[in-house]
């Protein structure tokens, strides 16, 4: 039997930014419950919640201080139980983020490690090392943090002397765990079972290509292309030892056959990527090839073909994403304004025509652009850690505009939302778009409805009909999808039109648009 997630549409809820039910200006789980109508009307199969566990929020929840409880900011455990029950009643599954690579520096384990001192078993749960150079004053190796600056921070020992260094691939508030220590897996197993027993339908696994580190922690090549384009040459990621961890996770998941795991895998070599999808590892891997592809037919073709090929190596289902809480929104990536929006809509048609699991990021269905925030509004740790050279990811995390004509647009009763919402978003609210036939919201609703009712996917099968520098045409699930990424109209002659991303003129498809035909 085909598992529920095989061709599912997942909706990513960034809880801080979706809807605020208690008026503190930050979204929460009560807000998600209150807006379930929106998700049901959109027709999604599942929610993926970004982390809601107890956290000091240095990285907005990706710094977990208690992995088996929900932060009061989001409403506590009771709010999650309520969401699971209410979503399930509407046949919407609930998956959540799991953060196994690191904890918060406020996690009891890390506090104990600091207190216990060098050589203690407490320090063995993290990657503490003596420094290099005279008096150990230099970091143990040259690794850099993904968020900028060194990946090591020196601690002050209990007696006040300068002490050891600990590894953090991300913020200094996110110490990396030592996955060679069996206690670490035992704790993750407890976490997995805790949530699965509460009715969670699976996990998105953060930095699933991280966790394991080479024992000697060799220096990295600092001129390597793109810090996270982890090939075999970046010792921080994709170490072979990671696969044993995934096998351990899968063995637990197999006790819960309804549940799914989706790993965040920033690995672009097909063979290396596919290893994570072996039958005893992850069910699916996030695939960032479409996120990286510019709006060019040949590049989009290659991204799709490579994704299908990578998944096929292990007989797994592919996954598709155009945006998430870490990258610029696609409307902006594709050039912004009307053109960026037209291209984003066309790409939504390409994505939703493909076999496999599709991930839609909250606000994508409204055609939200990235927001240029003023310096003083920025909250992403990337801004500080990069010495104010990288603005970070706040621009794609601005709260959702729901209704009304002025901020906070029904997101909250509090005008002081955690990130400011632009006034111009009055045109983009759910309320406005719901009554406009041509809106991006109604367009997404229609696409998801057609995906569910008309497409008949056959495994990973996609037939390429045409792909050149301007046009991409493929048949998938019995539907012909045509994308015009060139600058001239193209004739549409492949059957009856199901829908198109923009109006046709004389049977011709305009540039920056797509069509589905049967």
Shortest distance (Å) from residue 258 CB to ligand TEU: 25
Helix, strand, coil fractions of the chain, as percent rounded to 5: 30, 20, 50
Backbone angle region of 114, left / alpha / beta, with phi > 0 → left and psi within -120 to 50 → alpha: alpha
- Taking the C-alpha atoms of residue 507 and residue 492, their distance in angstroms, rounded to an integer, is 6
- Taking the C-alpha atoms of residue 452 and residue 359, their distance in angstroms, rounded to an integer, is 15
Our finding on whether 146 is near ligand TEU (CB under 6 A) is yes
**What tokens were used for 202?**
């699976």
Closer residue to ligand TEU, CB minimum distance, 323 or 501: 323
Our finding on whether 326 is near ligand TEU (CB under 6 A) is yes
Active-site residue, from 63, 201, 206, 380? 206
Closer residue to ligand TEU, CB minimum distance, 184 or 462: 184
Q: Which among 310, 328, 146, 171 has a CA at the least distance from the CA of 228?
A: 146
Q: Where are the beta strands (DSSP E) in 209-279?
A: 260-263
Shortest distance (Å) from residue 259 CB to ligand TEU: 20
Give helix 242-253 / helix 182-197 axis angle, nearest 10°: 30
Sign of the Cα torsion 77, 83, 86, 88 reads negative
Contact call for residues 288 and 321 (beta carbons, < 8 A): yes
Closer residue to ligand TEU, CB minimum distance, 98 or 472: 98
Our finding on whether 206 is near ligand TEU (CB under 6 A) is yes
46-49 and 93-98: which strand pairing?
parallel
**What tokens were used for 312?**
């096929």
Our finding on whether 224 is near ligand TEU (CB under 6 A) is no
Q: Name which position in 5, 166, 170, 455 contacts ligand TEU (CB under 6 A).
A: 170
Closer residue to ligand TEU, CB minimum distance, 30 or 51: 51
Q: What are phi and psi of 49, to 5 degrees?
A: -95, 125
Window 16-75: residues binding ligand TEU (CB under 6 A): 59, 62
**What tokens were used for 245?**
């961890």
Active-site residue, from 63, 71, 264, 281? 264
C-alpha count within 13 angstroms, C-beta hemisphere, residue 307 = 32
Closer residue to ligand TEU, CB minimum distance, 189 or 328: 328
Q: Name which position in 114, 353, 378, 382 contacts ligand TEU (CB under 6 A).
A: 382
- Please report, to the nearest 10 degrees, the dihedral formed by the alpha carbons of residues 182, 186, 187, 193 taken in order: 160
Residue 205, preceding peptide bond in cis (omega within 30° of 0): no
Q: Which among 86, 8, 19 has a CA at the least distance from the CA of 48?
A: 8
Closer residue to ligand TEU, CB minimum distance, 266 or 443: 266
Our finding on whether 143 is near ligand TEU (CB under 6 A) is no
Q: Name which position in 228, 298, 454, 497 contacts ligand TEU (CB under 6 A).
A: 228
Shortest distance (Å) from residue 38 CB to ligand TEU: 23
Shortest distance (Å) from residue 218 CB to ligand TEU: 20
Shortest distance (Å) from residue 286 CB to ligand TEU: 9
**What tokens were used for 306?**
């490579």
* 206 has catalytic annotation: yes
Shortest distance (Å) from residue 207 CB to ligand TEU: 5
What H or E segment, with its residue span, contains residue 475? strand 471-476
Shortest distance (Å) from residue 326 CB to ligand TEU: 4
Q: What angle do CA 129, 229, 186 make, to 5 degrees?
A: 50
Q: Which among 176, 180, 192, 197 has a CA at the least distance from the CA of 67?
A: 192
Strands of the 9-13 sheet, one edge to the other = 284-285, 260-263, 202-205, 93-98, 46-49, 9-13, 357-361, 319-321
What H or E segment, with its residue span, contains residue 448? helix 440-453
Q: Name which position in 26, 42, 207, 252 contacts ligand TEU (CB under 6 A).
A: 207
**What tokens were used for 148?**
């900028």
Shortest distance (Å) from residue 95 CB to ligand TEU: 14
Closer residue to ligand TEU, CB minimum distance, 192 or 207: 207
Count residues near ligand TEU (CB under 6 A). Answer: 13
Shortest distance (Å) from residue 308 CB to ligand TEU: 23
Site track for ligand TEU across 235-274, x = CB under 6 A: -----------------------------x----------
Closer residue to ligand TEU, CB minimum distance, 5 or 237: 237
Closer residue to ligand TEU, CB minimum distance, 46 or 341: 46
Q: What are phi and psi of 450, to 5 degrees?
A: -65, -40
* Shortest-Cβ-distance residue relative to ligand TEU: 62
Active site residues: 206, 264
Binding interface with ligand TEU (CB under 6 A) = 59, 62, 99, 146, 170, 206-207, 228, 264, 325-326, 382, 393
């Amino acid at each position: 039997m085909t598992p529920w997630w095989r061709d599912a549409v997942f909706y990513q809820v960034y809880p801080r930014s979706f809807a605020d039910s208690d008026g503190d200006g930050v979204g929460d789980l009560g807000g998600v419950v209150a807006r379930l109508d929106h998700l049901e009307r959109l027709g999604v199969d599942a929610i993926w919640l970004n982390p809601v566990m107890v956290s000091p929020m240095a990285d907005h929840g990706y710094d977990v201080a208690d992995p088996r409880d929900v932060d009061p900011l989001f409403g506590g455990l009771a709010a999650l139980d309520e969401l699971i029950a209410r979503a399930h009643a509407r046949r919407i599954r609930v998956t959540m983020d799991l953060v196994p690579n690191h904890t918060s520096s406020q996690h009891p384990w890390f506090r104990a490690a600091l207190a216990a001192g060098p050589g203690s078993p407490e320090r063995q749960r993290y990657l503490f090392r003596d420094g290099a150079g005279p008096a150990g004053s230099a970091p143990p190796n040259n690794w850099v943090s993904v968020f900028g600056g060194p990946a090591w921070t020196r601690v002050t020992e209990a007696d006040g002397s300068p002490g050891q260094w600990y590894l953090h691939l991300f913020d200094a508030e996110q110490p990396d765990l030592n996955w060679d220590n069996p206690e670490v897996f035992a704790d993750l197993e407890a976490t997995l079972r805790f949530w699965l027993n509460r009715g969670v339908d699976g996990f998105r696994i953060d930095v699933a290509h991280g966790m394991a580190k080479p024992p000697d922690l060799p220096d990295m090549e600092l001129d390597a292309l793109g810090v996270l384009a982890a090939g075999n040459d970046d010792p921080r990621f994709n170490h072979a030892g990671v696969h044993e961890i995934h096998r351990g996770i899968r063995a637990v998941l197999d006790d819960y056959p309804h549940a799914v795991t989706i790993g965040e895998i920033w690995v672009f070599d097909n063979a290396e990527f596919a290893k994570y999808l072996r039958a005893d590892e992850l069910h699916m891997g996030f695939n960032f090839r479409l996120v990286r592809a510019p709006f060019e037919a040949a590049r989009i073709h290659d991204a799709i073909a490579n994704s299908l090929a990578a998944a096929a190596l292990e007989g797994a289902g592919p996954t598709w994403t155009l945006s998430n809480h870490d990258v610029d929104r696609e409307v902006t990536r594709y050039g912004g304004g009307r053109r960026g929006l037209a291209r984003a809509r066309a790409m939504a048609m390409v994505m939703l025509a493909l076999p496999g699991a599709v991930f839609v990021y909250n606000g994508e269905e409204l055609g939200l652009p990235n927001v240029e925030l003023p310096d003083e509004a920025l909250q992403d740790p990337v801004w500080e850690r990069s010495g104010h050279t990288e603005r970070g990811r706040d621009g794609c995390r601005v709260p959702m505009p729901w209704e009304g004509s002025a901020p906070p647009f029904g997101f909250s009763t509090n005008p002081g939302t955690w990130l400011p919402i632009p006034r111009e978003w009055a045109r983009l609210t759910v309320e406005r778009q719901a009554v406009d036939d041509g809106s991006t919201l109604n367009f997404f609703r229609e696409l998801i409805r057609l995906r569910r009712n008309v497409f008949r996917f056959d495994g990973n099968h996609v037939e390429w009909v045409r792909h050149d520098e301007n046009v991409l045409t493929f048949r998938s699930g019995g539907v012909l999808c045509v994308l015009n990424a060139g600058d001239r109209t193209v004739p549409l002659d492949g059957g009856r039109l199901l829908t198109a991303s923009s109006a046709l003129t004389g049977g011709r498809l305009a540039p920056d648009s797509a069509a589905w035909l049967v």
